[in-house]
Amino acid sequence: MSDSLVINNLHASIGDRPILKDFSLTVPKGEVHAIMGPNGTGKSTLSKVLAGHPDYSVQSGEAFLDGEQIIGLEPDVIARAGLFLAFQYPSEIPGVTIANFIRAAIVARQAKGAPFDAKAYYAELYAKMDALKMDRKFTGRFVNEGFSGGEKKRCEILQLMMLKPKYAVLDETDSGLDIDALRIVSEGVNAMRGPDTGFLVITHYQRLLEYIVPDRVHIMWDGRIVHSGGKEVALELEAKGYDWVKTELASA
Amino acid sequence: MNAVASAPAGVLDVAQQSAETAHYRAQDWFVVLRQQGWHTFQSLPMPTRDNEKWRFSDARSLSLDGYAPAPAPTAAQAADLIARSRLISDAAGLIVHVDGHCILKPTLSAELVAQGVVFESLEDAVRTRPALLQEHLLKHPVLLGSDKFAALHRAWLRAGYVLHVPKGVEVKQPFVSVTWTLTDDVAVFPHALIIADERAVADIHDFHLSAKADQRALAISAVDIHAGTGSQVRRLAVQAWGSATQSFQVDNTCGGRDALISSVNAAVGSRRARLENCVRIDGEGADVRLYGISVATGEQEFDQRTLQIHAAGHAKSDLLFKNALLGKARTIFSGLIKVAPEAQRTDAYQTNRNLLLSPDAEADSLPGLEIEANDVKCSHGATTGQIDPAELFYLRARGIPLAVAQELLAQGFLEEVLAKVGHEQAAAAVREMLRLKFHQA
């Protein structure tokens, strides 16, 4: 378990409304797991709770990053512990350039007072932007301000590639993407797949999983996982629709 | 001299003021100007809070007692401060004052001299260019409330500079003035007289700095800008006096036909600082941009009063003042757009945005319009708010600690105005001052 993202019996709510209800899941490092489910079932809540969003409260349960309990920690502490959340709707940050933003995130991970290698940083940043087919001029643009949907998601993947987390949660990364952007974003994620990183890909549609082929697919319903299987589960869900989940899986 | 020494010393002492004025015996017009200042100062009451122009200001704590002119710095002090004044490497000329004494006169290129450009200390210009000064010096009325302080400025007028860019001369590099306070309890009255003739282009950077961070001083500065037909005047003014300073800035600009005027007022220093920025558009087609930016911390009070007067039609003015507040700091923004009946087709805008970074900080905003023409586009808006929690979470979700994230967002908030400076090195210098202010808070 020290080499996994482990979520045990998580109960979480926003206000008085319970959303995660005894949610459990394990994502071993090196694997890509997908969570599929209809809107309102708690997928985005899961990602926010893991990332430490202050609007959600956790009643019980735990989550471990390679054995380190993260529930209740501050969001920046969780991020530095190795969890990355790619946002469904990334915020626009006026006046803060992408270069300064990612730089601040990297400096936050360095030992206090350690020198920052600006030359190496820009070399790496440019290489990854090239891979994501982002214009290098974007380094001087304010984070997400005036970006198209596709540009925002590419910017998320750029941050993911620069910060190299142990585990990445991609929250509906496919929403708002055209097919070209979807392919570029997926290539970025696929390039990061390997023994050092685990992925939890949250999506409403099977389409994304044609590009990021998962090792395991989990179906979420009313705050918990109701069915798990291989990548074929996504196709099964696509064929049978969410009514199948409701009538056959949820009641099980 | 014994009689003078036993009198109450300082800028409120008539004997001391008269003694200094006597140095200008040969320039009787200047003597008269200073005497007028003194009499006006004596005749006016100190402002009080029930005066609408001082609404929300902490007028009760205003005091002019205990400030005095200071002697010139030693050679070593001057050398140190000149070295610290080299903030802009491509300056067309640099003038440096310390405690009201000019310690570095500008050296202009032979080309600029040949073109007739004048950039020299006010004290020199009083002697050498009386006609130019009598036409332009302190000709604007003081409309925004600091009449008494402006009168004291006039009474003690000596420090400062004159910039005159003649017709058709375009100067790309900035003229730079750095004004220091060094001695505690010094009173300084720096003046900037800027005259851009027809189609002249000039860029000015004014830095008001103190030798030490907690400098105690009284600074009453004034700026007269005369932007002629088709001229372009861009000015950056940085108020970074030491933290125990009382600062008053009375800026007056008049813009002629098709003039392009842009000013950025950045404020980080002083215990209290009041900026009065009045722009009068006298010519059609003028385009005026007024920007303000501040980081207020501790118990600082930044008091900003602006007036956009449209006396001619088909002109545009746009104002954006942004303040970030920490600690128990207070800012007051009071802005008025006045459009005369004949100023049809005016475009005038005014925006004040305040970012509260502490529950104890307070920002007051008093935007206003006074429109007598019927075919105009005018608007004003003011917002005061806190950091957007969604933006904060986004930064923290990338591992950026809370305090760093708040600072980044606050700096981002101010960046919109920094982008208007139009000179990378100057913008970087201001950005660094703002950054240090966050760290000292």
Residue A51 at interface with chain B, using a CB cutoff of 8 Å: yes
A209 SS3 class: helix
Confidence of residue A185 (pLDDT cuts 50, 70, 90): confident
Chain A nearest-CA distance from B382, in A, is 18
Contact B404 A108 (CB under 8 A): yes
Q: What's at A141, amino acid-wise?
A: R
**pLDDT at position A104 over 80:** yes
Residues of A within 8 A of B414 (CB-CB) are 95
Average pLDDT over residues A211-226: 95
- Per-residue DSSP letter, B341: T
Contact A96 B394 (CB under 8 A): no
* Averaged pLDDT in 10-residue chunks for chain B of 441 residues: 51 93 94 97 94 92 94 97 98 98 97 98 97 95 95 97 98 98 97 98 98 97 98 98 98 97 98 98 98 97 98 98 97 97 97 97 96 95 96 98 95 96 96 91 70
Token output for B352: 């004040």
- The pTM score is 0.91
Q: Phi/psi of residue A242, each to 5°?
A: -75, -15
Token output for B153: 């400025």
Contacts of A244 (CB under 8 A, 6+ apart): A236, A237
Contact B399 A105 (CB under 8 A): yes
Contact A94 B416 (CB under 8 A): yes
Q: How far apart are the C-alpha atoms of A217 and B349, rounded to whole Å?
A: 56
Q: Which residue has the tokens 């209740």?
A: A72
- Closest Cβ opposite residue A94 in set B393, B395, B412: B412
Contact B394 A100 (CB under 8 A): no
Query: Which pairing describes strands B232-240 and B260-267: parallel, antiparallel, or unpaired?
Result: parallel
- Closest Cβ opposite residue B400 in set A90, A91, A105: A105
Residue A14 at interface with chain B, using a CB cutoff of 8 Å: no
For chain B, the first-to-last Cα distance in angstroms comes to 46
Which residues does residue B333 pair with via DSSP β-bridges, in sequence order?
A: B304, B365
Residue A159 at interface with chain B, using a CB cutoff of 8 Å: yes
Contact A159 B394 (CB under 8 A): no
**pLDDT at position A243 over 80:** yes
Q: Kindly provide the residue ranges of all beta strands, DSSP E only, lying in B34-159, ordered along the sequence.
A: 93-98, 101-104, 118-121
Residues of A within 8 A of B387 (CB-CB) are none
- Closest Cβ opposite residue A80 in set B399, B402, B405: B399
Residue A91 at interface with chain B, using a CB cutoff of 8 Å: yes
Residue A94 at interface with chain B, using a CB cutoff of 8 Å: yes
What's the pLDDT score for residue A251? 67
Contact B416 A95 (CB under 8 A): yes
Check: CB of residue B238 under 8 Å from CB of residue B266.
yes
- Output the CA torsion sign for B154, B155, B156, B162: positive
Residue A147 at interface with chain B, using a CB cutoff of 8 Å: no
Contact B393 A93 (CB under 8 A): no
Contact A74 B402 (CB under 8 A): yes
Residue of chain A nearest B412, judged by CA positions: A95
Residues of A within 8 A of B408 (CB-CB) are 93, 96, 100-101, 104
- Axis crossing angle, helix B402-418 with helix B424-440, rounded to the nearest 10: 150
Among B378, B373, B376, B384, CA closest to B413: B384
What's the pLDDT score for residue A247? 84
Contact A76 B401 (CB under 8 A): yes
- Per-residue DSSP letter, A247: I
Which residues does residue B164 pair with via DSSP β-bridges, in sequence order?
A: B118, B195
- Closest Cβ opposite residue A79 in set B397, B414, B415: B397
Domains recognised in chain A with CATH numbers: 4-95+165-249 (3.40.50.300)
Percent share of chain A, pLDDT over 90: 81
Candidates B320, B394, B431: best to mutate against A (most CBs of A within 10 A) is B394
What's the pLDDT score for residue A242? 85
Chain A nearest-CA distance from B415, in A, is 5
Token output for A32: 């890509």
Task: State the greatest distance between any 2 C-alpha atoms of chain A, in Å, as a whole number.
Answer: 58
Contact A93 B391 (CB under 8 A): yes
